[in-house]
C-alpha cells in the first residue's frame, strides 16, 4: 500500500454538460491533496450518477443530481479540509464554518456602506414590487376558490353568438328537471333589499338562492339550518340566510338569529341560518342577505338575469355536461318559441374559476411581466455594481490570498456576501410589497377576489426566493470577477486581461437594460394613452352638481301601482321644494354603467331572421323631465310627456347612436319595434317618438346606444331619484334625506352619491392598473439611466490615463466629451434596437386592454425610443463632462 497518493489521472476528454462543469468548479473547494488523489474519480462518479438518473427517467433528474451533489459538498468539504482523523461528520462543525463565513461577509459589507446600501436598496425596490404583484396574482389567479373540490364547480351560462343572456326561471326549472351531469345545481338572482329588524333599517345586497346552490357549493351554516328544497317551493313560508356580519348587526349575537323574523322589503322572513364568519360571497356574488328563491312556474321564457352554478358529478366531464345542457336548451325552445325566437341561445358550462377571474387574467399576467422586467433590470444594475466593486477589490483580495486565504475561502466569502445582500434585499422589500398590495387593492375594487390579497407566508417565501436568486447572481458576478482560469488572483495592476472582458460584460448588461426598458415604457405609454382616451369620453350628460339615490319600494307596502305613482309625485314635489334644489327627476338607469337592464328588440320593419338573436340595447325608464335633469339634449321628435301612460300608445326615446345604427341616414322617429320578446299578439309594439343625445350606459368604453321608455308605462318599484343642485358646492344630502324621511320612514336611509364620483369610480380600476405599470416603467428607466451612468463613470475613471494622453496630444475637451457620450449612445442604441424587437410582445400582452389605442402604434414606439435615447445621452453627459475636465498632467503623474 503506497503512502503517497497516485499521480492524478488526466481529465477525461468527453464533452461536458453544464452540470458537470459546475461540479468541476465546485470541487475545487476540496484541499489540494484530496483533489489530486480523487478528482478524476469524483468526476467519473458524477457522470455515472447522472447517467443512472437519466436512464431511470426520474423526473427532474437534473435537479435531483444537483441537490445530491450540493448536499455531498456541504457535508464533505469542511470535513476534508479539517483533515479529521475519523470518519464520522458532526453537523456542528458545518454550522460553525457557515456562520464564520457569514460573519466575515457581514464585516466586509459593513466596511463598504455605500455599495451595500445601494445594492440592498435596488434589490429591495425590485423585489418589493415583484412580491407585491405576486401577492395579487396569488390571490386572484392562483388561490383555489374557497369551496370543497372547487374544480368541479361550474357556472352555467346562456349565450348566443353575440351576447350573454344569463338564465331565466324557465331555464332554471328545465335544467333542474332534466339534468343528470351535476350532483347539485342551483341559481342566484341578485337583488338589493331593505332589511329591517326591530327599528334598525338598512339596505343590503345579496341574492335569492336555491337550496341546490348551497348544496353545490357544499357550504355549511354556522348557526341554524341551511336552506332546503321545500324552502324554494312556491307558497312556502319565506326564509332567508344571513351573513354572520349582518346577523350580528341586527341581533347582537349572530347565533341568536336563527328562528327570528327579519323584514326584507317589508316582507317578513324567518332567518333559517347564519353563514360562517367571513363568508360574504356565494359563487362570486357579494352580499349579506340570501332569501330563498321561490320557484314559481313562469308564464314566458324571460326575464333573464339569474346566475346558474352546478357541481359536476364525479367522473363526469365538462364536455359531457355541455352536451347535455345543449340538448336541454334545444328541447325547451319549442315550448316558448312564440315569445322567444333566439334559437341560437344555448346553455354553456364554464369552470367557475374562469367565469370569476377570466377577465383579469391577461392584465394581471401583463403586470407580472412588467414587474419581472423591473427585476431583470435591477439585477443587471446590481451585477454591474458588483463587477465594478470586484475590480477595485482586487488589491484587498490579493492581500488576503497572500496571507493564506485559499481560492475556496475567497469564493465562499464572495458567495456569503451575495447571499447576505440578496436576503437583506428581500427583507427590506416587504414594506414596499405591502404598499403595492394595499394601494392596488383599495383602488382596483372591481377586480374579483382582490379584497383578500395580502402579504402572507407564500409571499414572504417568494420574496426570499427571489432574494436568494439575486444573491446567486451577485455571487456569480463576483466570483467571475475574481479571476480567470489561471487560478491566480490578479494584483492591483490596471489593465490586466480580465478587465477587457469585464468591460464587455458590463456593456452587454447596459444593452440588456435598455432593451428591456423600452417595451415596458412603451406598454406604460400605451396604457396612459388608453386611460386618457377613456377619461375624455363624452359622457352625454352633465354630472356637475347632480346627486342620485336608489330607492327600492317594498312590494308588500306599495302593492298596487297607484301607490307607487303616488310616491313618485310626492317625492318629486317634496324634493323640489328643498332649498338649493334646481330640479328633480326619476329614472331607473344611471349612467355611466347602470342601465335598468339590457333588453332585446325586433324592429318592426326590419325584423331579424327567424331563429337568430335579436339586437339588445341598454334599456331604462324615465319620468317626464328626467332626461332634462340629466342634461341630455333632445335632437329630434319630442321628449317624454305626462300624457305617456297606460292608456296611450307605448312609446320610447332612442339615442343618436341607436338611430344611426339601426336606421342609418334615415329618421328613426315613427319607427316601431317589438321589445323584450313581445309580439303583435302579446304585448304589442313600441313607437319611437324622439331621438336624444348619446349617453354612456354600458360603461365608458362601450357604445352609446340607449333606449328610454316612460316610467308610467313600465313602472318599477326600484328607481333612482335624481337631484340637480342649483349650487354645486352646497351640501344638499342631509336636507334631501330629511325630506324623504318625512314621506316614508320605513325605507332604509337613502345614500346620496354624486354622479361625478360615479364617473370617477368607473375610471378607478383602469387608473390603478396604469399607475402601477407607469411606476414600474419609471423605475426601470431610472435604473437603466443610473446603470449607464455608472458604467461610463467607471470607464472614464479607468481610462483616465488614456484620456490624459489624448488631451496632452491635442484633443480638445469637446472632442473628449463627444467621445464619451458617443460610447454611451452606442450602447443605448444597440439596446433599443433589441428592445424594438421585444415590443412585439407588448402588442400581444396588451391586446384587448387598450381603449382607442392600437397596440402597435408607431408614434408611441418612436416617441419612447427617442425618450430613452435622450435619457441615455443625458446619463452619458455627466461622466463625459468629468472626462473633459481631466487634468492630463496630474493623471499621468498618478499612474
Partner 1 sequence: MNQPRALEAELPLSPVVLHTLLALVERPRHGYAIARAVEEMTEGRVKMGPGTLYGCLSRLREGGWIREREESDEDAAHAERRRTYELTDDGRLLLEAEAGRLAADVDLLRAHDLLDRR
What is the torsion angle, in degrees rounded to the nearest 10, for the CA atoms of residue 146, residue 147, residue 151 and residue 152?
Answer: -160
Nearer to partner 1, 73 or 733 (CB): 73
Residue 333 touches partner 1, criterion: CB under 8 A? no
**Beta-strand pair 718-725/581-587:** antiparallel
Nearer to partner 1, 290 or 411 (CB): 411
Sign of the four-CA dihedral 771, 772, 778, 779 = positive
SS3 content of the chain, % helix, strand, coil (to 5): 55, 15, 30
Nearer to partner 1, 28 or 813 (CB): 28
Pick one of 28, 36, 66, 80: the residue that binds partner 1 (CB under 8 A). Answer: 80
Among 539, 476, 167, 480, smallest CA distance to 332 is for 167
Q: How far is the CB of 70 from partner 1 (least distance, A)?
A: 9
Residues linked to residue 546 through DSSP beta bridges, in sequence order: 724
Nearer to partner 1, 30 or 462 (CB): 30
Listed ranges 75-83, 158-166, 333-341, 845-853: which one lies at the site for partner 1 (CB under 8 A): 75-83
Give DSSP secondary structure letters for 659-700. HHHHSTTS--TT-EEEETT--TTTT--EEEEEEE-----S-T
Nearer to partner 1, 389 or 412 (CB): 412
Nearer to partner 1, 84 or 577 (CB): 84
CA-to-CA distance for 17 and 50, rounded, in angstroms?
Answer: 10
Pick one of 20, 62, 66, 72: the residue that binds partner 1 (CB under 8 A). Answer: 72
Listed ranges 1-9, 400-408, 643-651, 824-832: which one lies at the site for partner 1 (CB under 8 A): 1-9
Q: CA angle, 152 as apex, 151 and 157 as ends, to 5°? A: 100
Residue 10 touches partner 1, criterion: CB under 8 A? yes
Cβ–Cβ < 8 Å for 640, 721: no
Neighbouring CB atoms inside 10 A of 587's CB total 25
Return the C-alpha cell found at 431: 414594506
Pick one of 1, 18, 91, 680: the residue that binds partner 1 (CB under 8 A). Answer: 1
Listed ranges 70-78, 133-141, 219-227, 475-483: which one lies at the site for partner 1 (CB under 8 A): 70-78
Cβ–Cβ < 8 Å for 891, 802: no
Residue 446 touches partner 1, criterion: CB under 8 A? no
Q: How far is the CB of 61 from partner 1 (least distance, A)?
A: 15
Nearer to partner 1, 87 or 894 (CB): 87
Among 843, 775, 858, 838, smallest CA distance to 362 is for 843
Pick one of 17, 66, 76, 112: the residue that binds partner 1 (CB under 8 A). Answer: 76
Pick one of 22, 36, 66, 73: the residue that binds partner 1 (CB under 8 A). Answer: 73
Nearer to partner 1, 89 or 245 (CB): 89
Q: How far is the CB of 411 from partner 1 (least distance, A)?
A: 16
| C-alpha 853, offset from chain centre | 20
Q: How far is the CB of 409 from partner 1 (least distance, A)?
A: 17
Return the C-alpha cell found at 381: 444594475
Listed ranges 67-75, 410-418, 461-469, 482-490: which one lies at the site for partner 1 (CB under 8 A): 67-75
Nearer to partner 1, 19 or 305 (CB): 19
Q: How far is the CB of 839 from partner 1 (least distance, A)?
A: 47
Sign of the four-CA dihedral 339, 342, 343, 349 = negative
Upstream peptide bond of 755 is cis (omega within 30 degrees of 0) = no
Hey, which residues between 130 and 189 contact partner 1 (CB under 8 A)?
A: none
CA-to-CA distance for 264 and 286, rounded, in angstroms?
Answer: 17
Q: How far is the CB of 103 from partner 1 (least distance, A)?
A: 25
Hey, which residues between 13 and 52 contact partner 1 (CB under 8 A)?
A: 13, 27, 30, 34, 37-38, 40-42, 44-46, 48-49, 52
Residue 87 touches partner 1, criterion: CB under 8 A? yes
Hunting for cell 455515472 — which residue is that? 48
Return the C-alpha cell found at 784: 437603466
Neighbouring CB atoms inside 10 A of 490's CB total 20
Q: How far is the CB of 849 from partner 1 (least distance, A)?
A: 51
Q: How far is the CB of 51 from partner 1 (least distance, A)?
A: 10
Pick one of 53, 61, 69, 309: the residue that binds partner 1 (CB under 8 A). Answer: 69
Hey, which residues between 89 and 118 contact partner 1 (CB under 8 A)?
A: 89
Cβ–Cβ < 8 Å for 384, 790: yes
Residue 658, judged by CB atoms within 10 A of its CB (0-12, 13-18, 19+), counts as: buried
Residues in Cβ contact with 481 at an 8 Å cutoff, skipping those fewer than 6 apart: 386, 387, 390, 391, 498, 502
- Print the binding letters for residues 700-739 with partner 1: x by CB under 8 A, - otherwise: ----------------------------------------
Pick one of 4, 86, 199, 497: the residue that binds partner 1 (CB under 8 A). Answer: 86
Q: How far is the CB of 482 from partner 1 (least distance, A)?
A: 22
Residues in Cβ contact with 283 at an 8 Å cutoff, skipping those fewer than 6 apart: 153, 155, 188, 213, 217, 307, 309, 352, 356
Residue 411 touches partner 1, criterion: CB under 8 A? no
Nearer to partner 1, 34 or 565 (CB): 34
How many chain residues bind partner 1 (CB under 8 A)? 35
CA-to-CA distance for 658 and 647, rounded, in angstroms?
Answer: 27
Residues in Cβ contact with 90 at an 8 Å cutoff, skipping those fewer than 6 apart: none
Q: How far is the CB of 836 from partner 1 (least distance, A)?
A: 48
Among 16, 9, 23, 5, smallest CA distance to 72 is for 23
Among 386, 369, 479, smallest CA distance to 425 is for 386
Q: How far is the CB of 391 from partner 1 (least distance, A)?
A: 33
Listed ranges 2-10, 188-196, 260-268, 878-886: which one lies at the site for partner 1 (CB under 8 A): 2-10
Nearer to partner 1, 35 or 574 (CB): 35
Nearer to partner 1, 46 or 663 (CB): 46
CA-to-CA distance for 162 and 601, rounded, in angstroms?
Answer: 14
Residues in Cβ contact with 77 at an 8 Å cutoff, skipping those fewer than 6 apart: 29, 30, 408
Q: How far is the CB of 406 from partner 1 (least distance, A)?
A: 16
State residue 701 phi and psi, 5-degree precision: -95, 10
Q: Give Rg (Cα) of the chain.
A: 36
Nearer to partner 1, 60 or 840 (CB): 60
- Print the binding letters for residues 237-256 with partner 1: x by CB under 8 A, - otherwise: --------------------
Pick one of 53, 61, 77, 668: the residue that binds partner 1 (CB under 8 A). Answer: 77
Nearer to partner 1, 44 or 532 (CB): 44
Nearer to partner 1, 76 or 260 (CB): 76
Nearer to partner 1, 1 or 894 (CB): 1
Q: How far is the CB of 223 from partner 1 (least distance, A)?
A: 51
CA-to-CA distance for 584 and 588, rounded, in angstroms?
Answer: 14
Q: How far is the CB of 79 from partner 1 (least distance, A)?
A: 6
Sign of the four-CA dihedral 360, 362, 365, 370 = negative
Return the C-alpha cell found at 573: 314635489
Hunting for cell 352555467 — which residue is that? 156
Nearer to partner 1, 40 or 222 (CB): 40
Q: Which residues bind partner 1 (CB under 8 A)?
A: 1, 3, 9-10, 12-13, 27, 30, 34, 37-38, 40-42, 44-46, 48-49, 52, 68-69, 71-73, 75-77, 79-80, 85-89
Amino acid at each position: 500500500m503506497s503512502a503517497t497518493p497516485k499521480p492524478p489521472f488526466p481529465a477525461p476528454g468527453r464533452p461536458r454538460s453544464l452540470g458537470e462543469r459546475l461540479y468541476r468548479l465546485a470541487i475545487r473547494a476540496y484541499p489540494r491533496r484530496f483533489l489530486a488523489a480523487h478528482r478524476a474519480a469524483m468526476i467519473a462518479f458524477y457522470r455515472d450518477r447522472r447517467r443512472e438518473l437519466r436512464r431511470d427517467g426520474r423526473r427532474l433528474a437534473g435537479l435531483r443530481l444537483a441537490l445530491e451533489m450540493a448536499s455531498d459538498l456541504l457535508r464533505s468539504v469542511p470535513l476534508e479540509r479539517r483533515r479529521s482523523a475519523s470518519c464520522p461528520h458532526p453537523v456542528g462543525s458545518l454550522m460553525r464554518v457557515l456562520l464564520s463565513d457569514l460573519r466575515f461577509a457581514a464585516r466586509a459589507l459593513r466596511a463598504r456602506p455605500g455599495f451595500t446600501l445601494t445594492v440592498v436598496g435596488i434589490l429591495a425596490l425590485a423585489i418589493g414590487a415583484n412580491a407585491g404583484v405576486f401577492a395579487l396574482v396569488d390571490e386572484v389567479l392562483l388561490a383555489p376558490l374557497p369551496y370543497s373540490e372547487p374544480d368541479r364547480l361550474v357556472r352555467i351560462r346562456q349565450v348566443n353568438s353575440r351576447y350573454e343572456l344569463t338564465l331565466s326561471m324557465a331555464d332554471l326549472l328545465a335544467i333542474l328537471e332534466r339534468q343528470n351531469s351535476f350532483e347539485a345545481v342551483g341559481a342566484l338572482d341578485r337583488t338589493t333589499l331593505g332589511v329591517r329588524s326591530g327599528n334598525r333599517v338598512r339596505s343590503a345586497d345579496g341574492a335569492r338562492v336555491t337550496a341546490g346552490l348551497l348544496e353545490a357549493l357544499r357550504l355549511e351554516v354556522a348557526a341554524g339550518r341551511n336552506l332546503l328544497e321545500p324552502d324554494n317551493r312556491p307558497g312556502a313560508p319565506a326564509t332567508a340566510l344571513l351573513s354572520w356580519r349582518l346577523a350580528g348587526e341586527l341581533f347582537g349575537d349572530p347565533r341568536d338569529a336563527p328562528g327570528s323574523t327579519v323584514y326584507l322589503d317589508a316582507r317578513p322572513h324567518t332567518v333559517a341560518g347564519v353563514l360562517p364568519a367571513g363568508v360574504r360571497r356565494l359563487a362570486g356574488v357579494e352580499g349579506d342577505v340570501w332569501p330563498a328563491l321561490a320557484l314559481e312556474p313562469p308564464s314566458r321564457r324571460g326575464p333573464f338575469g339569474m346566475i346558474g352554478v352546478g357541481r359536476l358529478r364525479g367522473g363526469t366531464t365538462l364536455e359531457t355536461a355541455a352536451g347535455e345542457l345543449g340538448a336541454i336548451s334545444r328541447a325547451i325552445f319549442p315550448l316558448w318559441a312564440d315569445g322567444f325566437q333566439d334559437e341560437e341561445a344555448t346553455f354553456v358550462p364554464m369552470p367557475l374559476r374562469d367565469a370569476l377571474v377570466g377577465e383579469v387574467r391577461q392584465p394581471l399576467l401583463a403586470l407580472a411581466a412588467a414587474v419581472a422586467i423591473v427585476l431583470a433590470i435591477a439585477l443587471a444594475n446590481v451585477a454591474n455594481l458588483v463587477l465594478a466593486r470586484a475590480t477595485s477589490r482586487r488589491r484587498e483580495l490579493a492581500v488576503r490570498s497572500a496571507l493564506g486565504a485559499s481560492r475556496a475561502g475567497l469564493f465562499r466569502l464572495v458567495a456569503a456576501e451575495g447571499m447576505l445582500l440578496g436576503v437583506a434585499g428581500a427583507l427590506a422589500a416587504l414594506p414596499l410589497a405591502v404598499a403595492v398590495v394595499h394601494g392596488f387593492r383599495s383602488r382596483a375594487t372591481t377586480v374579483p377576489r382582490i379584497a383578500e390579497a395580502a402579504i402572507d407566508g407564500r409571499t414572504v417565501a417568494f420574496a426570499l426566493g427571489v432574494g436568494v436568486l439575486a444573491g446567486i447572481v451577485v455571487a456569480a458576478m463576483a466570483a467571475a470577477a475574481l479571476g480567470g482560469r489561471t487560478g491566480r488572483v490578479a494584483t492591483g495592476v490596471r489593465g490586466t486581461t480580465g478587465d477587457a472582458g469585464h468591460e464587455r460584460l458590463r456593456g452587454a448588461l447596459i444593452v440588456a437594460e435598455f432593451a428591456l426598458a423600452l417595451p415596458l415604457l412603451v406598454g406604460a405609454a400605451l396604457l396612459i394613452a388608453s386611460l386618457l382616451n377613456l377619461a375624455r369620453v363624452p359622457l352625454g350628460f352633465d354630472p356637475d352638481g347632480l346627486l342620485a339615490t336608489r330607492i327600492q319600494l317594498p312590494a308588500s307596502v306599495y302593492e298596487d301601482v297607484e301607490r307607487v305613482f303616488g310616491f313618485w309625485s310626492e317625492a318629486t314635489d317634496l324634493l323640489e321644494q328643498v332649498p338649493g334644489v334646481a330640479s328633480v327627476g326619476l329614472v331607473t338607469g344611471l349612467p355611466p354603467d347602470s342601465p335598468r337592464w339590457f333588453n332585446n328588440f325586433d324592429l318592426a320593419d326590419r325584423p331579424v331572421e327567424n331563429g337568430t338573436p335579436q339586437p339588445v340595447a341598454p334599456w331604462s325608464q324615465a319620468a317626464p323631465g328626467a332626461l332634462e335633469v340629466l342634461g341630455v339634449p333632445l335632437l329630434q321628435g319630442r321628449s317624454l310627456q305626462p300624457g305617456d301612460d297606460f292608456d296611450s300608445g307605448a312609446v320610447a326615446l332612442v339615442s343618436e347612436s341607436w338611430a344611426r345604427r339601426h336606421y342609418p341616414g334615415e329618421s328613426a322617429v315613427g319607427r316601431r319595434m317589438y321589445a323584450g320578446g313581445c309580439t303583435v299578439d302579446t304585448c304589442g309594439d313600441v313607437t319611437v317618438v324622439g331621438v336624444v343625445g348619446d349617453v354612456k350606459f354600458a360603461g365608458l368604453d362601450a357604445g352609446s346606444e340607449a333606449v328610454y321608455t316612460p316610467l308610467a308605462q313600465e313602472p318599477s318599484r326600484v328607481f333612482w331619484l335624481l337631484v340637480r343642485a342649483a349650487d354645486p358646492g352646497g351640501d344638499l344630502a342631509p336636507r334631501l334625506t330629511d325630506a324623504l324621511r318625512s314621506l316614508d320612514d320605513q325605507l332604509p336611509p337613502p345614500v346620496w352619491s354624486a354622479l361625478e364620483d360615479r364617473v370617477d369610480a368607473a375610471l378607478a380600476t383602469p387608473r390603478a392598473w396604469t399607475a402601477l405599470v407607469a411606476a414600474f416603467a419609471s423605475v426601470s428607466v431610472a435604473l437603466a439611466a443610473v446603470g449607464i451612468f455608472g458604467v461610463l463613470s467607471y470607464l472614464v475613471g479607468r481610462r483616465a490615463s488614456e484620456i490624459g494622453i489624448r488631451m496632452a496630444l491635442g484633443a480638445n475637451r469637446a472632442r473628449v466629451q463627444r467621445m464619451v457620450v458617443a460610447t454611451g449612445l452606442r450602447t443605448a442604441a444597440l439596446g433599443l434596437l433589441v428592445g424594438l424587437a421585444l415590443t412585439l410582445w407588448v402588442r400581444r400582452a396588451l391586446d384587448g386592454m387598450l381603449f382607442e389605442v392600437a397596440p402597435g402604434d408607431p408614434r408611441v414606439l418612436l416617441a419612447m425610443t427617442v425618450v430613452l435615447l435622450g435619457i441615455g445621452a443625458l446619463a452619458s453627459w455627466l461622466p463625459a463632462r468629468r472626462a473633459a475636465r481631466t487634468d492630463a498632467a496630474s493623471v499621468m503623474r498618478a499612474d
